[in-house]
């Protein structure tokens, strides 16, 4: 894996970005994240220079991201590819094969998290259990969710692993499926995909990008199939600012 990224020709590229841990630093709770004006301005410039061939692909719901970013002109896929919102629109489209989780399952997860003093995030198409403050409970969370999957087998759910988070989601949905959807849209067709992400939830997207001759960038430490690495969200913004100042292809 290399630390020096190639030059970024905006007019030929499709830019895809994870959010937490990629554009902003991770925080103990999702609501504690702060998006600076520098990040917002950089995203606006990227969107303009790519002629709107850019998108955020996040595990957050679209509503959660919008509450922090407030940039309706930027395309978004939320909940790991279950939701899509296109620029300058307040309409959120849901993946046609995704159904809401039953109330009984939600009740079980709420009870478990209350008993274990864990944070449950209802997105609402997925359920995520956060244990950043109690990392020693990781195996307990995994056992509980695997038991839920077995008992609700007709829903065909899977556990999505993340940094101090485990999430229940449909087994056929991941960030690679979101990439496929976007790259089949007119704005993105024929462009070289670039994907920036920090978590194991981004590995499917890295593999997809590598298989389609794109540029995959891991943010932070840890093993990854990405081809390049940047140290932090600050490094991501610095890279884009440098490319914007150079005109992207000089």
Residue-range domains of the chain with CATH: 10-96+173-246 (3.40.50.1000), 103-170 (3.30.70)
Residue 18 a catalytic site member:
yes
pLDDT reading at 5 higher than 90: yes
* pLDDT tens figures, 126-183: 899 999 999 999 999 999 999 999 999 999 999 989 889 999 999 888 999 999 999 9
> Can you give the pTM of this predicted structure?
0.84
pLDDT tens for each residue of 92-104: 777 777 788 999 9
**Please, what is the average pLDDT of the chain?**
92
Q: Which of 18, 66, 199, 204 is catalytic?
A: 18
pLDDT band, residue 249 (cuts 50/70/90)? very low
- What pLDDT shows up at residue 98? 79
| 19 pLDDT higher than 50 | yes
pLDDT per residue over 70-89, tens digit each?
898 899 999 888 889 987 66
- DSSP string over the chain: -BSSPPP--GGGEEEEE--BTTTB---SSGGG----HHHHHHHHHHHHHTTT-EEEE-SS-HHHHHHHH--TTSEEEETTTTEEE-TT----EEPTT--PPPHHHHHHHHHHHHHHT-EEEE-SSSEEEE-TT-GGGHHHHHHHHHHHHHHTGGG-EEEEEETTEEEEEETT--HHHHHHHHHTSTTTTTPEEEEEE-SGGGHHHHHHHHHTT-EEEEESSS--S-SEEESSHHHHHHHHHHHHHHTS--
């Amino acid at each position: 894996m290399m630390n020096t990224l190639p030059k970024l020709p905006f007019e030929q590229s499709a830019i895809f970005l994870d959010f937490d841990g990629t554009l902003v630093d991770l925080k103990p709770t999702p609501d504690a994240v702060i998006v600076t004006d520098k990040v917002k301005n950089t995203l606006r410039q990227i969107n303009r220079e790519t002629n709107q061939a850019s998108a955020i692909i996040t595990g957050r719901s679209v509503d959660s991201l919008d509450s922090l970013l407030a940039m309706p002109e930027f395309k978004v896929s939320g909940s790991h590819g279950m939701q899509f919102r296109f620029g300058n629109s307040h309409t959120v489209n849901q993946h046609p094969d995704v159904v809401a989780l039953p109330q009984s399952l939600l009740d079980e997860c709420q009870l478990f998290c209350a008993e274990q003093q864990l944070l449950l995030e209802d997105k609402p198409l997925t359920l995520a259990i956060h244990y950043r403050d109690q990392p020693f409970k990781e195996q307990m969370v995994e056992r509980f969710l695997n038991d839920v999957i077995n008992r609700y087998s007709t829903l065909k759910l899977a556990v999505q692993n993340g940094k101090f988070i485990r999430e229940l989601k449909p087994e056929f949905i991941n960030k690679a499926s979101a990439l496929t959807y976007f790259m089949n849209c007119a704005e993105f067709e024929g462009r070289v995909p670039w994907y920036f992400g920090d978590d194991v939830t981004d590995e499917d997207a890295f593999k997809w990008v590598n298989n389609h001759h794109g540029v995959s960038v891991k943010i932070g430490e840890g093993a990854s199939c990405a081809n390049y690495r940047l140290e932090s969200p600050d490094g991501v913004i610095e890279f884009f600012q440098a490319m914007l100042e150079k005109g992207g292809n000089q």
